Amino acid sequence: MLLIHCPYCEEDRSELEFRWAGEAHVVRPENIAAISDEEFAEFFFLRNNEKGLTYERWRHIHGCGRFFNAARDTVSDRFLMAYKAGLPKQPVPVAEKFAAIAEEKSVETWEQTEGDAR
Amino acid sequence: MAEIALRTPVALGHHGSQNAMLSQAAPATRISLRVRSEDVSALSSALGVDLPVKPKTSTYANGRTALWLGPDEWLVIDEGESGLMTAAANSGALHSATDVSHRNTAIIVSGPGAAAAINAGCAQDLSLDVFPVGACSRTLLGKVEIVLLRTAEDAFRVEVWRSFSDYAFGLLAEGARDAAL
Amino acid sequence: MSASSNSGAFRIKGAGRHTPARTARFTFDGKSYTALEGDTVASALLAHGVHLLGRSFKYHRPRGILTAGPEEPNALLDVSRDAARRQPNVRATVQEVFDGAKIASQNRWPSLRYDIGAVNDVLAPFFAAGFYYKTFMWPKEAWHKIYEPIIRRSAGLGVSPTEDDPDHYASRYVHCDVLIAGAGVAGLTAALSTASTGKKIILVDEQPEVGGALHYDTSTTIDGQNGYDWAQATVAKLKAMPNVTVLTRTTVFGYYNHGFLGLVERVTDHVAKPSKDAPRERLWQVRTKKVILATGSIERHMVFANNDRPGIMLASAARTFLNHHGVAVGRNVGVYAAHDSAYEAAFDLKRAGVSIAAIIDNRDKPGEAVLAEARALGIDVLTGHSVVDTAGRLRINSMTVARNGNFDRRKIKVDALIVSAGWTPSVHLFSQSRGKLKFDDANQRFVPDIYAQNAVSVGACNGTDDLAELIDEAISAGGGRLALSGETRFEWTGGMIGATEGAGPDHAVKAFVDFQHDVTAKDIRLAVREGMHSIEHIKRFTTNGMASDQGKLSNMHGLAIASEMLGRPIPQVGLTTFRAPYTPVTYGTLINHSRGDLFDPARKTPMHALEEAAGAEFEDVGNWKRAWYFPKRGEDMHAAVNRECKTVRDVAGVFDASTLGKIEVVGPDAAAFLNLLYTNAWDTLKPGKCRYGIMTREDGFIYDDGVVGRLAEDRFHVTTTTGGAPRVLNHMEDYLQTEFPHLKVWLTSTTEQWAVIAVQGPKAREIIEPFVEGQDLSNEAFPHMSVAECTVMGVPARLFRVSFTGEVGYEINVPADFGQSVWKAIWERAEGMGACLYGTETMHILRAEKGYLIVGQDTDGTVTPDDAGYGWAVSKKKTDFVGIRGLKRPDLVREGRKQLVGLLTRDPKEVLEEGGQIVADPNQPKPMTMLGHVTSSYWSENLGRSIAIALVAGGRSRMGETLYVPMADKTIVVEVTDMVFFDKEGGRING
């Protein structure tokens, strides 16, 4: 079970209190009524679903109730940072990034352990 | 007008073990209060209790407890039948106050095993250094949401929505039974 | 007989740590035995010379006790306290004897000694690895009817109990600074060191007493004290410290993300008469900042022909039975080893008076110290030899020995054979924490390399063999200062993985690698020959390591055999993934309190008790219990619902609408916010008025609906569907916090603040009038779709003039605690006027008669407001709302979309089935073109016929068309109509 830092409660809390809310920094166009089908598809349907460092939204739904953004490495599940909603995409501190990469390498992934089973 | 309506609160009764007693709190007046930071002091004076601005803390004054639930959200509990809504309305400042007196009911958990009883279903660290007297938090107890307030070293108030109170009481009773061992 | 001889002929006087006077009686397969307190079932049975404990999984071979710990693959028993408290597959080496325990062997018929299934052993050539995959491929039908039932009966382990588990299980969340897994020398030392820093620690050990290897290892002294005694003194010291929690009989079964670990504590399984309040087991969910892994190592068996007979066991197990339990595993014991540690077992047994037939050492050069000691004790040692076979039907009676590379064999009589191939570090938890292992080539073992979490491994699980080094490692892991010295008599050398000469290579011998799944060395070689080159494939093909012991003994042997066959070094062959749980965990522990009433909250409205007293049947709507219908004496559901439907339209009905979701939207920008969240326009709604609103998602599909009342310029009372309340609030909060944070508005759930009493029907006004103060209820002052804050029975109330029936309707909202009192008074008056109580079934029918939509029943997440016939609810003037763009998508504006329409069956008595598919031509070839499906269908007593609502392609352009609903036994003819079946003009709603 993940331990998630809530930037509003300023504390690490159990994943139980949170709900994942999809990719972060997908901005709803101000002129949404006027955008093209392609732009709408880009905004509403298409997500990057990146492996590794991702920015995602969480809601501390059973805590302070706030939505916030977090940078998480989807390979190691390590949270690199969490910051309040409304702030622009925050760069991940370099040290954190290196730690995450090292960790990513240390983690046994499917590719490493079962990959050659293909 | 025919008759005056009578109040029938949820009946949970008493339960517990020698280490953790459970009882139902008396009916109280409650508001869910939403205020922007610039208006906190206006609402504090209007209500007669300083709204805490530090996460996970509460304040108590004049029979009223203000619990920090979120950066712009408080639960204010008055043990009497006082005019919290009116007091907030008279603040003259921008806010949202909603009467939730009947939405919640409260269970008092007390005794040396109180924290252990709650920890049967609550994942928060309830040790005194992390969750001291006066600390409060919205969190989960098993499958239901609660607001937890530590009123003394060995006493907690568990605020829960009324239809979840049977479940919360039952789970706490199991926790209390285990905390007695 | 003395107490000690009572407790078994194989008890050694003066050996072991149990008190001879403290006995417990138990039965095994119906026969009664005496044990000593502290015995495991294994040690108690061995004390009586009982070695045969079960039959193997596939071949039904006689099996005994292989280990003395949780890694046991063989000795799985059925342990019961009474008829309901019965647990299959219990490890005899873990289960402590309690007085009155009833223990039975498994997987045998008719008896343990004569088991018919043993014919499988003779038929073994047919049961090689991959047998199931290859044999039962064809014919397909035969699998379910013939093969599977037979296989299930003949293979397998215990039988699960059929009665409900009467025990209860507890759960506890706990936080600490350091969790220490394992309380052997390393764990205890690390605990002492950590505790001295003041950190909050939890020390966990799976055994009843701490000490780990010190249970058997009598040649280790710490600080001049006998190791086991030191361990007990140390744990007593630790328990006295306020910052230390010691949990024994507790297994760390899972090491998950971010310092989260799952522990199971066995609270009463060893107790003869447990207290009623004590849980059987307790789940500990621990969040810790750091983990010290001191999980030790597990001894491996030797892989050779017929290495599975009862009486063959690990050397360390024999030592545990002797030194801890005071039990000799035989009178004439053979030793087969590739590691020095087995010698120490032989020394201990010899000193206890057991004769040692010989030590067969697979190595040419054993450790010099142990060799010298063996000679001094007069024990024969055959180095460079292998055990190539064993004999004995139900227990070993001899071993056949040959010099390596030589065919000369000789038989040596033994009544037990103890084996050791060396030690495998227990890296299970480390690997579960997603740490990465490295292969220690010199010692042929995997050890921790790169940590993924804040953890440190100390002692044997880290590959640290030297005692002084181990103590230093543990002290430094704990971060404290501590002076501790340890001494041990022999430094151990040796170890091997894989098969010995006695295992083949390809004789028709059974040299077991995995005892629980009956996997032999030959099976693994066969897997490689058949093309399995990945250890993951080999594992699945052979099922090596897939039994409930998860290959604690077998994985390394299997890997080495595969590596040899593949001609690739072990690190390149890889290791299968270690997964939680470390040892099996009961479902009772995992679900703990979540059963019975606590399985899920049962939400009851404030009036629930009154409805129950009125005879209501309830239905589940989400977690809510809602009154479904109110049968009178002698009425079935149909009769009750027909009566309720008629009465509401003829007189009036009283309905509990408290479960409707309610959200208070407050702030100067409340209307602007609702404008963005609903398709309707809200700024035009005057205070005191209500409007039906539809909420779409960004994709344009209906998400929820409900009536919204404006109480003041800056205060709205929003209602949602019963099931939709939490997700609608989440959806609103999402937009408010992240897309429209500039709006000055706040949302509060008030679902439970209000008890909602709906009174609907021609006499509704007359019924409620006397109770209402502060609001003129006349049509002029309070028309349909009005809302007012007033007083009902002296209580501040919110009164809505709304209707979900098409009749004059009111919904009285009073603070929840007043719900019962107001309901009672209103119902008393309503009943006197001939009204009825009605439930959700009647509510559904009455709304269907009027063609009102139920989101989630008539819609399914692909229906737009226009599809539903609610296009009028979508504002044409607004420049933005959630869904405005989605609604313009080409697919959402095309012709021919499915639309909600009414359906009338040609036979008015025929009631369609909800979900029934609709076609234009019932005679078309299959697969037919489906036009849509029936979403709602009822008998309407008010209309004297059936009615239905359906989603039909191009539905609104098909008015009057005849369509068909093909059923299994008939085809139902229907006509497409509009959705309003009753009071088409809609006059009744205005009274």
pLDDT of residue A117: 44
Choose the CATH number for C3-120 among 3.10.20.440, 3.40.190.10, 3.30.70.360, 3.40.920.10.
Answer: 3.10.20.440
Four-CA torsion C343, C345, C351, C354, nearest 10 degrees = -110
Select the residue of C287, C537, C885 nearest A35 (Cβ to Cβ).
C885
Give the count of beta carbons closer than 10 Å to the beta carbon of residue C122: 9
Looking at residue C350, its amino acid is: K
For domain C894-991, the question of CATH label 3.30.930.10 is answered with no
CA A72 – CA C153 distance, rounded (Å)? 48
Q: Is A37 on the interface with C (CB under 8 A)?
A: yes
CA-to-CA dists, residue C672 to C157, C361, C685, C744, C750, angstroms: 66, 86, 12, 9, 21
Q: Which residues of A touch C260 (CB under 8 A)?
A: 1, 3
B146, β-bridge pairs: B139, B160
What is the DSSP annotation of C150-170? HHHHHS-------S------E
The reply to whether residue B119 touches residue C173, judged by beta carbons under 8 angstroms, is yes
Task: Give the three-class secondary structure for C476.
Answer: helix
State the fold for domain C170-297+425-488: FAD/NAD(P)-binding domain (3.50.50)
What does the alpha-carbon distance between residue C924 and residue C942 come to, in Å, rounded to a whole number?
A: 36
- Which pLDDT score, from 0 to 100, does residue C4 have? 43
* Residues C333 and C356: beta-carbon distance below 8 Å: yes
Q: Which chain C residues have a beta carbon less than 8 Å from that of A21?
A: 734
Mutate which: C168, C171, C243, C660, vs B, most B CBs within 10 A: C171
Summarised one tens digit per residue, pLDDT across range B100-131 is 999 999 999 999 999 999 999 999 999 999 99
Confidence of residue C2 (pLDDT cuts 50, 70, 90): very low
CATH number of A3-108: 3.30.2270.10
Candidates 3.40.50.1370, 3.40.190.10, 3.90.45.10, 3.50.50.60; correct CATH number of C299-422+493-573? 3.50.50.60
Q: How many CB atoms lie within 10 A of CB C192?
A: 22
Six-digit token pair at A79? 């949270």
A11: closest chain B residue by CA: B55
Q: Give the distance between the most distant pair of CA atoms in chain C.
A: 114
Best to test chain C binding among A42, A83, A89, A107 (most C CBs inside 10 Å): A107
Of C172, C267, C594, the CB nearest to B116: C172
3-state class of C970 per DSSP?
coil
Residue C839: burial class (beta carbons within 10 Å; 0-12, 13-18, 19+): buried
Q: How far apart are CA C799 and CA C789, in angstroms?
A: 6
pLDDT at position C430 is 97
SS3 assignment, position B40: helix
- Cα–Cα distance for residue pair B22/B11, rounded to 1 Å: 13
Per the CB < 8 Å rule, is C534 touching A61? no
Under an 8 A CB cutoff, do C436 and A107 touch? yes
Q: Tell whether B13 lies on the interface with A, counting CB pairs under 8 A.
A: no
Pick C660-750's CATH classification: 2.40.370.10, 3.30.70.1400, 3.40.50.1980, 3.30.499.10.
Answer: 3.30.70.1400
Quick: pLDDT tens for B35-46. 999 999 999 999
Quick one: pLDDT band at residue C139, thresholds 50, 70, 90? low
Tell me the whole-structure pTM to 2 decimals: 0.94
Cis ω for the linkage preceding C927 (within 30 of 0) = yes
DSSP label of C578? P
Residue ranges matching CATH 3.30.70.1520 in chain B: 29-100
**pLDDT tens digits along B142-170:** 999 999 999 999 999 999 999 999 999 99
What pLDDT does residue B85 have? 96
Enter the tokens of residue C952.
Answer: 């039909």
Comma-separated ranges of CATH 2.40.30.110 domains in chain C: 894-991
Contact residues, B window 111-140, toward A, CB-based 8 Å cutoff: 123-124, 137-140
Query: Using 50, 70 and 90 to split pLDDT, how confident is the model at C6?
Result: confident
Give CA separation, B5 vs B83, C482, C794, C811, C923, in Å: 20, 71, 6, 17, 64
Distances in whole angstroms, Cα of residue B19 to Cα of each of A54, B113, C202, C275: 46, 5, 22, 16
Of residues B15 and C179, the one with the higher pLDDT is: C179
Cβ–Cβ < 8 Å for C918, C931: yes
Contact flag A59-C890 (C-beta cutoff 8 Å): no
The pair phi, psi for residue C440, each rounded to 5°, is: -90, 95
The band of C944, judged by pLDDT with boundaries at 50, 70 and 90, is very high
CA distance C76 to C673: 64
- Picking from B2, A49, A54, the residue whose alpha carbon sits closest to that of residue C821 is B2
Distance from CA of A5 to the nearest CA of B (A): 13
pLDDT > 50? residue C619: yes
Chain C contact for A105, CB < 8 A? yes
Q: Which two tokens stand for residue C401?
A: 């020995």
Residue of A nearest to C576 (CA): A113
pLDDT tens profile C276-287: 999 999 999 999
Q: In percent, how much of chain C has pLDDT > 90? A: 89
Q: Do A77 and C257 touch (CB under 8 A)?
A: yes
The better pLDDT of the pair A108, C258 is held by C258
A 10 A CB-CB count for C611 gives 23
Q: Using the beta-carbon criterion (under 8 Å), do C666 and B9 form an inter-chain contact?
A: no
Q: What's the confidence (pLDDT) of residue C135?
A: 59
ipTM over 0.95: yes
Beta bridge partners of C52: none
Distance CA C317, CA C308 (A): 15
C959-991 pLDDT, tens digit each: 999 999 999 999 999 999 999 999 999 999 998
The minimum CA-CA distance between C550 and chain A, rounded to whole Å, is 17
pLDDT top residue among C22 and A109: C22
Which ranges of C456-519 does DSSP label H, i.e. alpha helix? 467-478
Going by DSSP bridges, is the β-strand pair C398-403/C385-391 parallel, antiparallel, or unpaired? antiparallel
| Percent of chain B residues past pLDDT 90, beyond the cut | 89
Per-residue pLDDT tens for C293-337? Answer: 999 999 999 999 999 999 999 999 999 999 999 999 999 999 999
Identify the helix (H) or strand (E) that includes residue C662: strand C661-666
Structural fold of domain B13-27+103-181:
Gyrase A; domain 2 (3.30.1360)
Residues of C in contact with A36 (CB under 8 A): none
For residue B73, what is the nearest residue in chain A, using CA coordinates?
A64
Name the β-bridge partners of C811: C758, C800
Helix (H, G, I), strand (E, B) or coil at C257: helix
Task: State the Cα angle at C626 between C625 and C627, rounded to 5°.
Answer: 125
Tokens of C607: 């009036």
What are the extents of the domains in chain A?
Answer: 3-108
- Burial of A105 by CB count in 10 Å (0-12 exposed, 13-18 middle, 19+ buried)? middle
For an interface test with B, the pick among A62, A83, A87 (most B C-beta atoms closer than 10 Å) comes out as: A62
CATH T-level assignment (fold) for domain B29-100: Alpha-Beta Plaits (3.30.70)
Q: Between 3.40.50.2300, 3.40.50.620, 3.30.1360.120, 3.20.20.80, what CATH number should domain C600-659+753-851 receive?
A: 3.30.1360.120
Q: What three-state secondary structure class fits B111?
A: coil
State the DSSP string of C116-156.
GGGHHHHTGGGG-TTHHHHHTTSSHHHIIIIIHHHHHHHS-
d(CA A90, CA C872): 44
pLDDT range class, residue B176, cuts 50, 70, 90: very high
Q: Which residues of chain A have pLDDT under 50?
A: 115-118
CA distance C772 to C775: 7
Give the neighbours of chain B: at least 3 Cβ pairs within 8 Å.
Answer: A, C
Q: What is the pLDDT of residues C484-497, one digit of tens each?
A: 999 999 999 999 99
Question: CA C509, CA C522: separation in Å to the nearest integer?
Answer: 8
For C822, which of B5, B72, B103 is closest by C-beta distance?
B5
Q: Within chain C, which residue ranges are assigned CATH 3.30.70.1400?
A: 660-750
> C199 is written with which tokens?
């950190």
User: How would you label B27-37 residue by residue, b for 16+ Cβ within 10 Å and e otherwise?
Assistant: bbbbbbbbbee
pLDDT band at C69 (very low <50, low <70, confident <90, very high): very high
Query: B86: buried, middle or exposed (CB in 10 Å: 19+, 13-18, 0-12)?
Result: exposed
| DSSP single-letter state for residue C781 | T
